[in-house]
């Protein structure tokens, strides 16, 4: 089969050059790198990030990649895992909404690790990141796999394998084998995001990134993988029960999908962003949350299914459940008047008064909002007050959405808020300066050193 999806993906990845990228895409990659490094450093001390780092610090490599926050170089696949845990854990990195929702900046840990291990320059890193976004987002457009019980990070094994292969300068045949290896052992179960959530919710893609880099390393050394991985008798489409259609035909022009993704303004699951904005707007009018008698959240099907239907969402026991709970996130925005890392500490989401408030929070499906999705990620928040008044606020495109993007200064402000407490203002500013000039650098070494 000469026109398999694996052939199309490999040919596209190998042919792509930095010069193919538009100025807008190059600029957006830099914005996403600033955003991702910010959330990574902000989450650096969190428990699963520390666990991953503890394991990876025992591993060293001659041509390794730096573990963020240290000067230790580990095998690039494990570096992708440790750094990916930090990028993802706060649930504060970017988002793409489609048939399958995703967080495409998760790919950045793999691209950074592969780039450093081979001494790639900044232009090559930018190209690989744009490629990874293109692959993951177009696969998300092709088919929903969560509907079949599989996790979105499954697509990430392919995107990170291709980004890594591109950085390692593999030829089309070896790149195809990297795709095949990534696919045959990369399917992840959706149980990672069902019921009471664990650490794994925040590190599942980091594992996919590790696998993507590992697949490229094996292919580089000559390992072959089973084919056709997508269309085969026991391949991806058959096993996951989906059809990817003609997605391969989409990989012809310059990458542009990154321009359709959204940056988070608040550290919570993306489908809640518009509910947060609505709740904070209403909070200014309500003032004291004790005046609130009842809250009703009208939302679209994706939000209800993912973060607004399971009973655990009304009684979160872990941070992972709390930041994936539409009723809790909306309620705590109304109660505290802010959404920061503090709202996802156990003392807050286990507070008896907060849990009492949650009993009067209801989530309802809204057909109109569902029909608008994924173009819009809308929520309507109704607040009924003890004095009989009913206040309502609707938000379709929250701040940071692709149709309501953050300014560069706001991206930097988010970075400073996360990094300044860790490294200080001067060091934080230096990192930003390096990233803005990334396309002029001959390696990523200076950037990785600045993160220590």
Instruction: Collect all residues with Cβ–Cβ distance below 8 Å to 364 and sequence separation of at least 6.
Output: 296, 297, 298, 299
- Please name every residue paired with 74 in a beta bridge, in sequence order, or none if there are none: 65
CA neighbor of 90 nearest in space, from 50, 152, 44:
44
Instruction: State how far the Cα of 63 lies from the Cα of 82, in Å rounded to an integer.
Output: 17
Domain spans in the chain, listed from the N-terminal domain onward: 5-265+430-450, 270-395
Helices (H) and strands (E) in the chain, counts: 20, 6
Two tokens, residue 62: 């001659």
Q: Is 192 within 8 Å of 200 (Cβ atoms)?
A: yes
Instruction: State how far the Cα of 17 lies from the Cα of 338, in Å rounded to an integer.
Output: 43
DSSP state letter for 341? G
- Grouping H, G, I as helix, E, B as strand and the rest as coil, residue 61 is coil
Instruction: State how far the Cα of 178 lies from the Cα of 218, in Å rounded to an integer.
Output: 7
Q: What is the 3-state secondary structure (H, E, C) of 279-321?
A: HHHHHHHHCCHHHEEEEEEEECHHHHHHHCCCHHHHCCCCHHH
| Torsion angle of the four alpha carbons 400, 428, 332, 262, in this order, in degrees rounded to the nearest 10 | 20
* Burial annotation 146-167 (CB, 10 A radius, 16+ → b, else e): beeebbbbbbbbbbbbbbbbbb
- Most distant pair of Cα atoms in the chain: their distance: 72
Q: Which residues of the chain have a pLDDT value below 50?
A: none
Instruction: State how far the Cα of 294 lies from the Cα of 272, in Å rounded to an integer.
Output: 18
Answer positive or negative: Cα dihedral of 213, 219, 223, 229. positive
Superfamily of domain 5-265+430-450: 2-methylcitrate dehydratase PrpD (1.10.4100.10)
pTM of the model: 0.94
How far is residue 164 from each of residues 216, 220, 359, 365, measured CA to CA in Å? 6, 10, 48, 41
- Please name every residue paired with 379 in a beta bridge, in sequence order, or none if there are none: 299, 395
Residue 3: what pLDDT?
A: 87
Superfamily of domain 270-395: 2-methylcitrate dehydratase PrpD (3.30.1330.120)
| Torsion angle of the four alpha carbons 301, 305, 310, 314, in this order, in degrees rounded to the nearest 10 | -60
Instruction: State how far the Cα of 159 lies from the Cα of 150, in Å rounded to an integer.
Output: 16
Residue 121: what pLDDT?
A: 98
Residue 2: what pLDDT?
A: 67
How far is residue 188 from each of residues 74, 256, 405, measured CA to CA in Å? 25, 27, 31
């Amino acid at each position: 089969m000469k026109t398999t999806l694996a052939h199309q993906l490999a040919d596209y990845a190998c042919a792509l050059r930095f010069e193919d990228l538009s100025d807008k895409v190059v600029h957006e990659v830099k914005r996403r790198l600033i955003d991702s490094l910010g959330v990574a450093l902000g989450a650096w001390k969190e428990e699963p990030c520390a666990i991953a780092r503890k394991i990876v610090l025992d591993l060293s490599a001659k041509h390794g990649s730096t573990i963020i926050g240290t000067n230790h170089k580990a095998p690039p696949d494990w570096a992708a895992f440790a750094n990916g845990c930090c990028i993802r854990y706060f649930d504060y990195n970017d988002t793409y909404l489609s048939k399958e929702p995703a967080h495409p900046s998760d790919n950045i840990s793999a691209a950074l690790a592969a780039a450093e291990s081979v001494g790639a320059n900044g232009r090559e890193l930018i190209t690989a990141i744009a490629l990874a976004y293109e692959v993951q987002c177009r696969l998300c457009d092709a088919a929903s796999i969560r509907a079949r019980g599989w996790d979105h990070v499954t697509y990430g094994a392919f995107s990170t394998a291709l980004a890594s292969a591109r950085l390692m300068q593999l030829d089309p045949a070896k790149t195809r084998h990297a795709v095949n290896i990534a696919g045959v052992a990369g399917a992840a179960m959706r149980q990672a995001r069902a019921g009471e959530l664990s650490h794994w919710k925040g590190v599942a893609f980091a594992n996919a990134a590790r696998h993507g880099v590992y697949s490229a390393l094996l292919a580089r050394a000559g390992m072959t993988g089973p084919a056709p991985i997508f269309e085969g008798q026991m391949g991806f489409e058959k096993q996951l029960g989906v059809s990817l259609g003609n997605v391969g035909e989409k990989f012809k022009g310059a990458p542009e999908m990154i321009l359709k993704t959204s940056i988070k303004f608040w550290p919570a699951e993306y489908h809640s962003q518009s509910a947060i904005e609505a709740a904070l707007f209403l909070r200014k009018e309500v003032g004291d949350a004790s005046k609130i008698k009842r809250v009703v959240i009208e939302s679209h099907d994706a939000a209800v299914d993912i973060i607004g239907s399971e009973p655990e969402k009304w009684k979160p026991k872990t941070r992972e459940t709390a930041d994936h709970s539409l009723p809790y996130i909306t309620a705590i925005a109304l109660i505290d008047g802010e959404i920061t890392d503090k709202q996802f500490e156990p003392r807050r989401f286990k507070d008896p008064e907060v849990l009492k408030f949650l009993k009067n929070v209801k989530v309802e499906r809204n057909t109109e909002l569902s029909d608008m999705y994924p173009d819009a990620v809308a929520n309507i928040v109704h607040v009924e007050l003890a004095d009989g008044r009913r206040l309502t606020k609707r938000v379709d495109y929250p701040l940071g959405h692709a149709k309501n993007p953050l300014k560069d200064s706001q991206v930097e402000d988010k970075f400073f808020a996360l990094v300044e407490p860790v490294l200080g203002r001067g060091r934080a500013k230096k990192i930003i300066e390096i990233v803005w000039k990334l396309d002029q650098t001959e390696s990523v070494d200076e950037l990785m050193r600045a993160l220590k």
